Amino acid sequence: MGILGMLAFMARERFWVTLEDGTKFYAYRVLLNIKGGERSAAIMLGESGDVIVGTSNWGAQEARLLEGAEENA
């Protein structure tokens, strides 16, 4: 199932990330959304994914998609 004109991706495999300074953290999921020229991304961190870091527009695009889906229902 998908939304016409949109690409969404979610990596579900958990993996360790090591920064240049040697700091390690656990990446729980990576999420990418592309619709036209709009792009947003988020990463869930920690062993349970309880910390979410996203681009400044993360959530805004998804909210508009839900509004559009409700109008077309």
Q: Give pLDDT < 70 ranges for the chain.
A: 1-4, 60-73
What is the reported pTM?
Answer: 0.62
Residue-wise pLDDT for 38-51, tens only, equals 888 888 888 888 88
Mean pLDDT of the chain: 78
Whole-number pLDDT of residue 18 = 92
Q: What pLDDT shows up at residue 60? A: 65
Confidence at residue 73, expressed as pLDDT on a 0 to 100 scale: 47
Helix, strand, coil content of the chain in percent (nearest 5) = 20, 45, 35
